[in-house]
Amino acid sequence: MRRAVGLLGGGVIGGGWAARFLLQGFDVRLYDPDPEAERKMGEMLANARRALTSLSAVPLPPEGTVTMVATPAEAARGVELVQESAPERVELKQALLAEVCAAAAPEVLIASSTSGLRPTLLAEGMANPGRFLVAHPFNPVYLLPLVELCAGERTAPAAMERARALYGSLGMAPLVVRKEIDGFVADRMLEALWREALWLVNDGIASVEEVDDAIRLGAGLRWASMGTFLTYRIAGGEAGMRHFMAQFGPALQWPWTRLTDVPELTDELLDTIVAQSDEQAGGRSARELEQVRDDCLVSVLQALRARDIGAGAVLARHERALAAAEPARVIDAGDDLSQQLSLHTARVEAGWVDYNGHAHESRYLQVFGDASDALFTYLGIDAASLAGGSYFTVESHLSHLREALLDDRLSVTTQILGVDPRRLHVFHSLWREGDGALLATAEQLFVHVDTVARRAAPAAPDVLARVERIKAAHDALPRPQRAGRSIGIPGA
């Protein structure tokens, strides 16, 4: 049965929730009195779809469907969770939550997206608050993995466990707040930083662009991977955390922040911020800026995924879970082998692009190498154990026909040209999805290697039999035009 959730509110946060749930395969029932809600949510979903399809190395589950509903009670029908994302007004949230609580079946979880209001306060009017908690996400909800879970005084531990599993299955990293507190964990720190940022503009120390640069050209780069404590531990040098605290602890007492004051949002300060913000945006619409932000987040997440750290580790874990749900393709007796094999897809990532503005030539060979690995898996070679040996590349002939550009989606088709007990001869073609352009080809010769003895050795009989079967079918295909080429300049 398909999983479903109800959402109350489809603004920046509620719409972000809708996108995350839908793209992870949940159906969504959305209540929002704003007549524009469906349009806004659709636009955000389009942005989210664009970002997530470029982020993930594994295919997403089939997308869920949206049903717009007329009342909060209808949002709760047939769902496992209702997520409230109304404006931050206590009475409004309390009323909505009480209404939903009265209408929802007793096993339905109820969560509020509040940035900082305590769950015990929000639960005041609820008849059955044991299944209620705060689940506070971060914008854009469809890309950032953090969700803070905070229990109120009457929240049942079982509800917290169910919530942790549910948000985890969305690719999020639930952080359970140990004690109920206003602002939870992240927003207490964000708020402290933001208040100081407002003072800097108010006092004419820096413009909004300069404040942003002060973050993103320095500490922001560290915060993306390590947060604050691990970063400072390293700054303590060989002597570690105690040394760092001893060295920089006293500075905490120095007057480096405005501390007690809250800047008054006068018309003058507001005008300054709005004017500087407009300048910084340089005429780009919110939608365009969202795409810039999402592109950056995708690239940063991929960078961290390669390092298996922080949000990148969360992403890798979720992808492994998605991939495990869909086992690797191994040859099956029923497979139609009359066409070239299609075993590998990829996307041109930010790190692949060189100073010429296209994917570096070595990245083509990387994709072909991954396609070869997919072929070996398909042949029943276990890449992880390599117990039965492995194929090593001894020769590659690449032809670059067209440029591969950032975000291009790629697919590889593979034809087997020759085989003997120790050698395998294949021809890969690299295609761009969308316009179907042929970007490059790679003819490759592999030698089978005993990976323990580190020398050539015959492949296992079952592997050889599979290769022979594919080759027999592929012998009926036309020989690729670029196979067997040698390099030279005719007449030169």
Q: Of 67, 120, 169, 225, which one interacts with a copy of itself (CB under 8 A)? A: 225
Least separation, in Å, of the C-beta of 12 and a copy of itself? 5
* Residue 250: cis peptide before it, omega within 30 degrees of 0: no
- Tokens representing 141? 């909800």
Q: Quick check: 153 binds a copy of itself (CB under 8 A)? A: no
Count of residues near a copy of itself by CB under 8 A: 179
Whole-number Å distance between alpha carbons of 208 and 200: 9
Alpha-carbon gap, residue 300 to 477, rounded angstroms: 42
Task: Please report whether residue 121 would count as binding a copy of itself according to CB under 8 A.
Answer: no
Output the smallest distance, CB 142 to a copy of itself, in A: 13
Residue from 186, 456, 457, 477 in contact with a copy of itself (CB under 8 A): 186
Scan residues 436-475 and list those touching a copy of itself (CB under 8 A). 443-445, 451, 454
Tell me the chain's radius of gyration from C-alpha atoms. 28
189 counts as binding a copy of itself under rule CB under 8 A: yes
Query: Which residues, numbered 274-313, are part of the site for a copy of itself (CB under 8 A)?
Result: 274, 276-278, 280-281, 285-287, 289-290, 292-293, 295-297, 299-307, 309-311
Residue choice 165, 221, 330, 472 for contact with a copy of itself (CB under 8 A)? 221
Question: What is the closest distance, in whole angstroms, from the C-beta atom of residue 391 to a copy of itself in the complex?
Answer: 10
Please report whether residue 113 would count as binding a copy of itself according to CB under 8 A: no
Identify the residue among 156, 337, 350, 457 touching a copy of itself (CB under 8 A).
350
Residue 30 Cβ vs a copy of itself, minimum distance, rounded to whole Å = 16
Q: What sign for the dihedral angle of Cα 328, 399, 418, 473?
A: positive
Residue 87 interacts with a copy of itself (CB under 8 A)?
yes
Q: Does 118 bind a copy of itself (CB under 8 A)?
A: no
Q: Which residues contact 225 (CB under 8 A, 6 or more apart)?
A: 304, 307, 309, 310, 312
Helix or strand run (H / E) with residue 233: helix 229-235
User: Which residue lies nearer to a copy of itself by CB, 329 or 360?
Assistant: 360
E-strand spans in 27-114?
27-31, 66-69, 81-84, 109-112
Stretch that binds a copy of itself, among 105-113, 329-337, 395-403, 430-438 (CB under 8 A): 395-403
Looking at residues 45 to 84 of the shown chain, list those that interact with a copy of itself (rule: CB under 8 A): 57-58
Among 30, 81, 123, 419, binds a copy of itself (CB under 8 A): 419
Distances in Å between the alpha carbon of 481 and those of 129, 169, 325, 471? 69, 47, 38, 17
Q: Are strands 132-137 and 341-347 parallel, antiparallel or unpaired?
A: unpaired
List beta partners, residue 7: 30, 83
Give the closest residue to 438 by CA, choosing from 414, 483, 403.
403
